[in-house]
Amino acid sequence: MSTIAFIGLGIMGGPMAAHLVDAGHDVVGHNLSRLAVDVLVERGGRAATDTADAVREADVVITMVPDSPDVEALVFSEDGILAHAKPGTLHIDCSTIRPDVARRIAEAERERGIRPVDAPVSGGEPAAVEATLSIMVGGADDDVAAARPLLETVGRTVVHVGPSGAGQTVKAANQLIVAGNIQLVAEALVFLEAYGVDTESALEVLGGGLAGSTVLARKGATMRARTFAPGFRIDLHHKDLGIVTAAAREAGVAIPLGAHVAQLVGALRAQGHGSLDHSALLTQVEALSGRAR
Amino acid sequence: MSTIAFIGLGIMGGPMAAHLVDAGHDVVGHNLSRLAVDVLVERGGRAATDTADAVREADVVITMVPDSPDVEALVFSEDGILAHAKPGTLHIDCSTIRPDVARRIAEAERERGIRPVDAPVSGGEPAAVEATLSIMVGGADDDVAAARPLLETVGRTVVHVGPSGAGQTVKAANQLIVAGNIQLVAEALVFLEAYGVDTESALEVLGGGLAGSTVLARKGATMRARTFAPGFRIDLHHKDLGIVTAAAREAGVAIPLGAHVAQLVGALRAQGHGSLDHSALLTQVEALSGRAR
Amino acid sequence: MSTIAFIGLGIMGGPMAAHLVDAGHDVVGHNLSRLAVDVLVERGGRAATDTADAVREADVVITMVPDSPDVEALVFSEDGILAHAKPGTLHIDCSTIRPDVARRIAEAERERGIRPVDAPVSGGEPAAVEATLSIMVGGADDDVAAARPLLETVGRTVVHVGPSGAGQTVKAANQLIVAGNIQLVAEALVFLEAYGVDTESALEVLGGGLAGSTVLARKGATMRARTFAPGFRIDLHHKDLGIVTAAAREAGVAIPLGAHVAQLVGALRAQGHGSLDHSALLTQVEALSGRAR
Amino acid sequence: MSTIAFIGLGIMGGPMAAHLVDAGHDVVGHNLSRLAVDVLVERGGRAATDTADAVREADVVITMVPDSPDVEALVFSEDGILAHAKPGTLHIDCSTIRPDVARRIAEAERERGIRPVDAPVSGGEPAAVEATLSIMVGGADDDVAAARPLLETVGRTVVHVGPSGAGQTVKAANQLIVAGNIQLVAEALVFLEAYGVDTESALEVLGGGLAGSTVLARKGATMRARTFAPGFRIDLHHKDLGIVTAAAREAGVAIPLGAHVAQLVGALRAQGHGSLDHSALLTQVEALSGRAR
């Protein structure tokens, strides 16, 4: 069993840390708001007073925070990982950040004997709760091998996709597909409603054919019901689409639909809906179609 | 057991008719090219000399042809269904056509005592072969009830979605989602290749999370291998996107991604690739990215 | 001087007919609403009781109506042009309609000895009032030559662009460019306002460089002021974008921006703003940006 | 008369410096390739050996280089403007760079007593040669007043649009409109050619109506002739569209057409056409339409 510093106990990090406690690990949690730490302690974890405190005795540091600068602060700041982690510590970053930042962090950590693994996840809150996350892992072979048992404790599909940063690159592609799929399902639903089709039946049959998708299966019913509690917030998906459009631009890859849906997500956020679940793209299709409720 | 006239024995119609023969029905086939009829006869079906001949003695007429005018010709022409089918005949149209044409045909058939069911299918050639099609059915309750056992012989998900034409409306939505999903997967794949990621691993992990889809599962590997034998031809998907964009325009529904991918499919066709599988959208993303092979 | 039947005395047709009266022609007007006819009579024209009455004695028939079916009705109906115009009559259609409909009308008219000219106009209400319209003319050489003096009475740039229908094809291209330009100016304005730039100065300097356009010059100030009285209605521009997208699809021409702006115009109309000037695309950019006033 | 250090004597900077020489100023030029400096010397200017040398004795420093990092290097490097310019020196940056970088440079310069003016230009090579540039100027009132006579020597429309950075913000908007207009004209031309319309006549009549624009007037004929010598390179326009999309994202402004054309420009560049004039967007429309020559 390992001593694990878990930093970032939000919607996703909270249930992930809990699964690691349940699996018998010694989990020391740290989080901006204290409430989430208390929940972890009640589950059997321990509380750290700050990052340095959490990291100091850990065999493994897992970070799950919103954006690239957050991870950079955890790694590079005075009370951060580089300054306080023991040589040999495994740092698994489950945040979704820029692939180039992930590569830069990996280099800096290796120089200090820390073993970096980028391991962003997909599946959203339900998959975090059910420990069925899909995890795209980048890093050196033995570092990924060392991380695997822990990742398999919180995820169902854990795949080593390449060297450091590759996990983030695959996650960027994942976010492009997910945003696009949600928008397509939203357009289809508004279209069907405009024609008076019973969308419950329609979703069932769409799900059975080539249009079937995890988005349709997991989000279809709540989209029909206009329930947009996150889940995964528009704010974060907007951030992620910034990552993938920048990376595609950098590599000279055309992503016409990706860039298009990035505009639509950005618009929804600009209208003040950043805290809604990303499936709220539906409301924008309705508004554009003069069918707002 | 029914006597079934099956008109249109192509990539989709051929295997569907075969399943009906296997289920013990008396299937009388008709097709433009004689070869497909011979295959049916070898399987245990019978050959009709023309539409009138096929239709005359049938309890059920199933049509599976490319486009709205093809179905209109089968219904309204001198040797067609209206002229030669017995009152009480069930006409199941499995073609993908314009919803308004489906409604017009249904009206004309009802006036002559024929029972119209629109039942377009999704899943492509593999699902036709495996009898796992997803079928979106429009029509009156008892007509659909009468059609259901036959549809369940060729499909796995058979859902009554509304009155005549509703099946076609749902199919239109299906084709919007499918084209968009393929394009998104294509963009993701080219993006990942540009970054040197192993796309076999990437597809595995993408499939396990919120980006998962039937397109990814069924088309991902052939897209990686650049195998674009149809399957479902760009020509036909172009036709279908014409249907959904016209219907959305008619209803005043905004389909920004749908209209965008319709342009991309139209472009691929204009470049002479109409006979390739729709997953060949990948090659266009490559060309736009200066990465054509 | 000619006897001219002028049918359709709306925002555009009214001032055009007035210029022809002023130039000394005998203008017999017909219009759905009687008010516009009275205005023409006051100016020195005459009133017809119906189309047949207007057409019967005319040397020239000019039609200026909203859409393809309107022109078709004027040509093919019982009291229409084919039935009542003298052989040798020149029919100048200034409406914006489908190029294929223009070609079909031209064929039918030639069979009856009528001389068809398609002559759609650009420039909007101010250009109609100032007789500075830009007119794109399709037809046979001598028919266009015969029409030219009349067209030059209402327009400044009168160009023979090809055979029957070619005028409409160029007008379709015109409407694609205009809608796109308005949307681009709208995006630029909202962008500049978001950064607190003085847009009056900005429009001045934008107009002096490569971004300069007639749209910027004629619509920039009213867009800044949010004055969206037509001018040219969203409803009509939506109709025109339907023409150009259908024609581009028919010819296999990719119009990515054209199709995109067609969606945006369609959305604005679906939201109930069809009666506003097309420059109201600005309000939609504001709404999408969370900056609606 | 002023002593002017002119740094960056390329397609645009070369003719601008020449006009200043012609107007009687003492112009000291510096450029990466020596050839352009020789041309200036022949015209009556002087050659500097490096930036420090050019800047040291100057009353005015004008910079005209490709991108934000180039200007930053000229300002902040050891042999740069901050280190070597006299207090009171006017620094007019005519480059097109990020507005936020322009603001940061302005702050740093003011701290050292240097007077910053951002003055990006529009109109392309012909306008530089003819001294008819449109110049969008940001800065403090008296700094702009001091720069105005020099700017009016090279431009026709010189407008003070706001404080430091505002010139760059307006230029960003300018580049969005220009790219979009070129793409719209390209789509229109390929559409017209597909229908066999004489595009010379068509351009004439389009130019006379609401579709008229500087792009149409200056680029129409060369686009018809497929002459794509720059002019303004795709590489640079791609850079500029990166600026405007990032700035729009930062401000939460929806630029659907802007983002779309940014993809198209990026694609053309990824295909290896970065050195062509931006009007080469036409070739991509042809390729997408299967009409490549």
Using the beta-carbon criterion (under 8 Å), do C254 and B267 form an inter-chain contact?
yes
Sort out which chain B residues have CB atoms less than 8 A from A212's CB and list them: 134, 213-214
Question: Do D172 and C191 lie within an 8 Å CB cutoff?
Answer: yes
Neighbour-count burial of B26, counting CB atoms closer than 10 A to its CB (0-12 exposed, 13-18 middle, 19+ buried): middle
Residue C56 placed within a domain: yes
Instruction: Identify the pLDDT of residue C29.
Output: 97
* Neighbours, chain D (3 or more CB pairs < 8 A): A, B, C
Residue A31's DSSP bridge partners are none
Q: How confident is the model at residue B11 (pLDDT cuts 50, 70, 90)?
A: very high
Q: What chain C residue is nearest to A284 in terms of C-alpha separation?
A: C288
Q: What is the mean pLDDT of chain A?
A: 97
Give residue C30's domain range. 3-164
Each residue's pLDDT tens digit, A163-176: 999 999 999 999 99
| Chains with at least 3 CB pairs less than 8 angstroms from chain A | B, C, D
Write the pLDDT tens digit of every residue in D125-181: 999 999 999 999 999 999 999 999 999 999 999 999 999 999 999 999 999 999 999
Residues 6 or more apart from D2 whose CB is under 8 A from it? D25, D26, D59, D60, D150
pLDDT given for residue B103 in this prediction: 97
Joined tokens for residue C40:
């023409």
Interface-testing mutation among D135, D205, D288, with chain C (most C C-beta atoms within 10 A): D205
Of residues D126 and C268, more confidently modeled: C268
Show residues of chain D in contact with A249, CB under 8 Å: 242, 266
Question: Which tens digits make up the pLDDT trace of D136-152?
Answer: 999 999 999 999 999 99
Task: Tell me if C187 sits within 8 A of D258, measured CB to CB.
Answer: yes
Q: Kindly give, in sequence order, each residue whose CB lies less than 8 Å from that of residue C238, ignoring residues fewer than 6 positions away.
A: C262, C265, C266, C269, C274
Residue B233: predicted pLDDT: 95
**Percent of chain A with pLDDT strictly greater than 90:** 97
What pLDDT was estimated at residue C231?
A: 85
**Amino acid found at B85:** A
Q: Do A134 and B209 touch (CB under 8 A)?
A: yes
Q: How far is A205 from chain B (nearest CA, A)?
A: 6
The length of chain B is: 293
**pLDDT-derived band of residue B293, with 50, 70 and 90 as boundaries?**
confident
Q: Which amino acid is at D120?
A: P
Q: D193 pLDDT band (50/70/90 cuts)?
A: very high
ipTM of the prediction:
0.96
Write the DSSP symbol of residue D279.
G
Locate the chain B residue with the closest alpha carbon to A133. Answer: B209
Residue range A5-46, pLDDT digits in tens? 999 999 999 999 999 999 999 999 999 999 999 999 999 999
pLDDT beyond 90 at A182 = yes
Q: D259 and A260: CB-CB below 8 Å?
A: yes
Enter the tokens of residue D42: 């022949």
**Over 90: is that where the pLDDT of D225 sits?**
yes
Question: Does position B137 have pLDDT exceeding 90, yes or no?
Answer: yes
Strand partners, B160: B137
Q: Quote the tokens at residue C32.
A: 């759905």
Q: What integer pLDDT is reported at residue B231 of this predicted model?
A: 85
Collapsing DSSP to helix, strand or coil, D197 comes out as: coil
Q: Which of A255, A260, A269 is nearest residue D252 as measured by Cβ atoms?
A: A269
Probe site for chain D from C210, C279, C286 (most D CB atoms < 10 A): C210
User: Both C201 and C177 in a single domain?
Assistant: yes
Nearest CA distance, D264 vs chain B (angstrom): 8
pLDDT band at D286; cut points 50, 70, 90: very high
Q: What angle, rounded to 10 degrees, do the helices at A13-22 and A141-154 form?
A: 90
Chain C nearest C-alpha distance from A264 (Å):
8
| A133 in the same domain as A107 | yes
Q: In chain B, which residue's Cα lies nearest the Cα of A166?
A: B197
Inter-chain CB proximity C289 and A267 less than 8 Å: yes
Same domain, D126 and D174: no
In a domain, D145, yes or no: yes
- pLDDT over 90 at A231, yes or no: no
Q: What are the strands, taking DSSP E only, across C120-208?
A: 121-122, 133-139, 155-162
In a domain, C293, yes or no: no
Confidence of residue C61 (pLDDT cuts 50, 70, 90): very high
Question: In the prediction, which pLDDT does A192 show?
Answer: 98
Domain boundary among B108, B140, B162: B162
Contacts of C190 in chain D (CB under 8 A): 253-254
| Amino acid D293: pLDDT | 79
How many CB atoms are closer than 10 A to CB C177? 30
Separation CA B36–CA B6 (nearest Å) = 12
Claim to verify: residue C49 and residue C131 sit in the same structural domain: yes
Q: C270–A287: do the CB atoms touch at under 8 Å?
A: no
Domain-embedded: residue B293: no
Contact between residue B252 and residue A290 where contact means Cβ atoms under 8 Å apart: yes
pTM of the model: 0.96
CB pairs below 8 Å between B and D: how many? 26
When CB atoms are compared, the residue of A172, A194, A218 closest to B253 is A194
Task: Give yes or no: A219 in active site.
Answer: no
CB atoms within 10 A of CB B120: 28
Do C8 and C28 have their domain in common? yes
Both B19 and B137 in one domain: the answer is yes
State the smallest CA–CA distance between residue B68 and chain C in angstroms: 16
How close is the nearest chain B Cα to the Cα of C93, in Å?
Answer: 26
Which of A130, A163, A196 terminates a domain? The answer is A163
Residue of chain D nearest C99, judged by CA positions: D195
Question: Quick check: is C199 in a domain?
Answer: yes
Q: Are residues A106 and A230 in the same domain?
A: no
Residue D254 Cα distances to A234, A235, A270, C29, C241, angstroms = 15, 15, 8, 46, 22
Confidence of residue A293 (pLDDT cuts 50, 70, 90): confident
Provide the CATH number for the domain around residue C229: 1.10.1040.10
Digit-coded pLDDT (tens) for A75-124? 999 999 999 999 999 999 999 999 999 999 999 999 999 999 999 999 98
Helix (H, G, I), strand (E, B) or coil at A120: coil
Neighbors of chain B with 3 or more C-beta pairs under 8 Å: A, C, D
- Same domain for B10 and B147, yes or no, is yes
Which of B129, B162, B195 is at the close of a domain?
B162
> In the prediction, which pLDDT does B202 show?
98
Checking if the pLDDT of D231 tops 90, the result is no
Q: Do D289 and B272 touch (CB under 8 A)?
A: no
- Do B136 and B239 share a structural domain? no
**B37/B123 same-domain check:** yes
Which residue in C156, C213, C247 is closest to D181 by CB distance? C213
Assess whether pLDDT exceeds 90 at residue D1.
no
Nearest CA to CA, how far is B266 from chain D (Å)? 8
Distance CA B2, CA A286 (A): 45
Which residue does chain B place closest to C239, by CA atoms?
B249
Q: How far is A27 from chain C (nearest CA, A)?
A: 43
Amino acid at B194: A
pLDDT surpasses 90 at C269? yes
Q: How many CB atoms lie within 10 A of CB A110?
A: 14
What is the number of domains present in chain B?
2
- Tell me if A266 and D249 make a contact (CB, 8 A cut-off): yes
Closest residue to C256, CB basis, from B242, B263, B269 = B263
**Alpha helix segments (H runs only) across chain A:** 13-22, 34-43, 51-56, 68-76, 81-84, 99-111, 124-130, 141-154, 166-194, 199-208, 214-224, 234-251, 256-268, 281-288
User: Where residue B114 sits, what CATH number does that domain have?
Assistant: 3.40.50.720
> For tokens 């992990």, what's the residue?
B205
Q: Are residues D155 and D279 in the same domain?
A: no
* A181 and A153 within one domain: no
- Return mean pLDDT, chain D: 97
Cα–Cα distance, A44 to A23 (Å, whole number): 11
- CB contact under 8 Å between A249 and D242, yes or no, is yes
Chains meeting C at 3+ CB pairs closer than 8 A? A, B, D
Give yes or no for residue A54 having a pLDDT over 90.
Answer: yes
What value does the mean pLDDT take over residues B257-264?
98
Could you tell me how many residues make up chain C?
A: 293
Interface test with C, best of D178, D257, D282 (most C CBs within 10 A): D257
Write down the catalytic residue from D86, D171, D219, D239: D171
Of C242, C254, C270, nearest to B266 by CB-CB distance is: C254
Nearest to A290 among C272, C289, C290 (CB): C272
* Residue B135 with chain A: CB contacts under 8 Å: 205
DSSP string, B156-221: EEEEEEESTTHHHHHHHHHHHHHHHHHHHHHHHHHHHHHTT--HHHHHHHHHHSTT-BHHHHHHHH
Whether C19 and C75 have beta carbons less than 8 Å apart is answered as no
- Count of residues for chain D? 293
